[in-house]
Amino acid sequence: MENKGQASAEYLLLIVVIIIIMAAVTIPLVSNSVNSTMDVSRASDTKNAIQSIANAVNLVYANGPGAKRTIDIYMPQDMNLTYDNNTRTINQLLELSSQNKTVSANVDYGVTFTNPNPIKGWHQTQIEWPLQNKTSIQVVFLT
């Protein structure tokens, strides 16, 4: 009778050891997968925000001096938007779990940001080409 109880305890101990080994292997894999998924989501949301601004800038440029457009944009992180005059792109450095990546969108005309550092969340954004300004279109984050 004692031998049967010992065999059951050994099987139970063996199952616990196997579960611990499987957990030690699968938890890092799941963690890496979650980080990669979050990186893709943040990169996609950032690209959508930058592209929305670029599309609005291009539309205002197409309408000419005096044109204005107001849009709502979701910023997935605290942003630090820059404009590169050489490549005519709006850029945002995106910090991912394994590396940094620059997300950019092309525009047809120069851009000036009144507040280039909007915080994470929804922002009402005004894109305007003032009549007196012949060098750039202004992007202002109102809220």
What's the whole-number mean pLDDT along residues 26-55? Answer: 88
- Looking at the predicted structure, is the pLDDT value of residue 118 above 70? yes
DSSP states of 72-93:
EEEESS----EEETTTTEEEEE
What's the whole-number mean pLDDT along residues 109-136? Answer: 89
pTM comes to: 0.77
Q: In what order do the strands lie in the sheet with 111-113?
A: 68-75, 121-128, 137-141, 111-113
What's the whole-number mean pLDDT along residues 109-118? Answer: 88
- Looking at the predicted structure, is the pLDDT value of residue 6 above 80? no
pLDDT tens digit string along 70-113?
999 998 888 899 999 899 999 999 888 888 899 999 999 989 99
Closest alpha carbon to 102 in 115, 112, 87:
87
Least confident of 64-68, 111-115, 133-137: 133-137
- Looking at the predicted structure, is the pLDDT value of residue 126 above 90? yes
What's the whole-number mean pLDDT along residues 109-130? Answer: 90
